[in-house]
Structure formats: C-alpha cells, structure tokens
A and B are shown apart, each in its own frame.
Chain A
Amino acid sequence: MSVDAVSFGGMIHGFVPMGRLIDTAFRGVSLITGSLRQALR
C-alpha cells in the first residue's frame, strides 16, 4: 500500500475547483489525474 500525501502551502480549503482565480488549482488537478493514470493504466 502506498500513500502519497501532498501539502499545498498557502492554499485554502476547497481550492482545487477554483482554477479561474487560483493557478495552483490546476496543479491540484494534475496531481489527481497523474495519480489516476498511473493507478488505473
């Protein structure tokens, strides 16, 4: 079992869907999709 825990410093709760206002949101989306591609290939 592997756990990848990533902390986004300076971010607020609920930031991942806020790409219109917060650029880091897209990094959050990319983290998720990268994990999905790797785990579900």
Chain B
Amino acid sequence: MALDPQAANVIDLIVKSGRPPYHQLTPKDARQMFRETRPASTPPAPQIGAVRDVLTEGAQAIPLRVYRPPGVSDSRRLPVLVYFHGGGWVIGDLETHDVLCRQLTAEAGVSVIAVDYRLAPEHKFPAAADDAWAATRWIAAHAAELGVDADRLAVGGDSAGGNLAAVVALLAREAGGPRIALQILLYPVTDLVSESQSYADLADGYMLTRDSMRWFRAQYLAKEQDAADWRVCRRRWSSPPATTRCVTRAKPTRGGCGRRA
C-alpha cells in the first residue's frame, strides 16, 4: 500500500514519538493521549460565530456543542449538521473534534451540533447509539431554540462516529422522522461481525492497527452476540438516505469504495 508522503510522515512522527498504541493503554489513558496529541495535527481554527454548550433534557442528559457561522443573526434558522466524533466509541469528545466542527461550520455556512455521547467501556453497546439517536431527536424537537431548521438536517461522523450517523439515519427512516437530508460517513466502522482481508493486509503500520481495532471492538460490545446487531453490521442495512461517504485505502476496516478523489 503506497502511502501519500504526508500521511507517511504522520506515521513516522508517531513512531518516533514512542507513544504506545491505544490497545496497550487503559481507556482513561487512551482518552488522555488522544486529547493531548490531537493539536499537533490539527490546523488553526477558522473564525466562526457563536459557540455554546447545551445539555439535552431527559433521563440521560447529553452534552452538545452548537456552532454557528459568522455574520448570521441569532434569529435566523440555519441548516444543521449533527456530528458524532470518532474514536472507536471509547475515546474522543467535544474538544478533540472542535476544530473540525469549526471548519465545517465556517466552510459550509451551516450550524454544526457536536454530540458528546457516552463512551465505552463504562457505557457498553448500544449506549453510544442510543445517545446519538436521542440527541438527534432532541435537536429536531428543539430546533427553534437552537436556531436551526429541522427540515434541513444532516448527520455525519468519522470512524465510530460514522457508524453512529448511519445508525441514526436508519432509525430515523424507520421512525418516520426526523427527516435526514444527508448522511456523511467518514471512513465509518460498518461491520463488527467479521474481519475483512484488510485486517490481515493492513494490520500494522497504517495508523489504525488491527490490534487497536480489536481493542475498540472489545471495549464497545457488551457480549459477542452484539456484533451481529444491525447497528454494527452493515449487511443488515438497506435503503439509506442520501449519502456522502469518504473512505481511505489504508486501514484494517477498509471496505468497498466508489470514485477516487
């Protein structure tokens, strides 16, 4: 697998740093390492408008961060992207993906609402999926006070967050709403039932390793049978809404791909 030189440089930097792989850490330490190392690869944050943290109401209060583009009045209801961060359902939070959410807000001119769903292993499957769905419904129900338009709502996420976005889109279809206009899946995790050939071909040396992927899976699933649940098994997915799917060639969970960028 020929890596882009800049991508190869990222891996070289990680190797030279001597930092341990995630699967050799406790979840708590893995979260801390992710949080601390993130800024080294993150670009400067663009200027945007208001940013505020809110909590959903209900039995399980879920922290959200609401971003608005610059130069937009508070009264104007904007299209909204509900965003779920990546991190194997174990690591990541509102801070680790703050700059990306600001980039999306500034460049798309929409409101982005990031969801701080519960993490494993303290909260096993399907807690993250439950939170993602509950947060999306709450956002749609409280669109006016959040300054967004529930009729122009997209969901998206990277890695495990891509999995959650896909689950939310399918749940919304089954429930008859909220209407999801678009799902954005960045190198999503779509199958925990079995390991594809790429788990062997790209097991190590390409950022996300086979052993770390197995570790994330073990942290998330409560029991082995959970791997067959439709929420982590794309073979049981059908008729999703409009989708933009961005994938990479060099990772263990690589699947089928469309056109190349």
> A residues within 8 Å of B by Cβ?
1-33, 35-37, 39-41
Contacts and interface: CB of A to CB of B under 8 A. Distances in A.
A8 B261 CA distance: 5
A3 B182 contact: no
Contacts of A22: 4, 6-7, 10, 41
Main secondary structure of the interface of B (DSSP, over half): mixed
Contact of A24 (B4, B80, B240, B249): B4
Nearest to B243: A3
A10 B261 contact: no
A4 B6 contact: no
Nearest to A40: B79
Contacts of B79: 36, 40-41
A24 B156 contact: no
A10 B249 contact: yes
A30 B107 contact: yes
B152 interface: yes
Most B-side CB within 10 Å, residue of A10, A13, A24:
A13
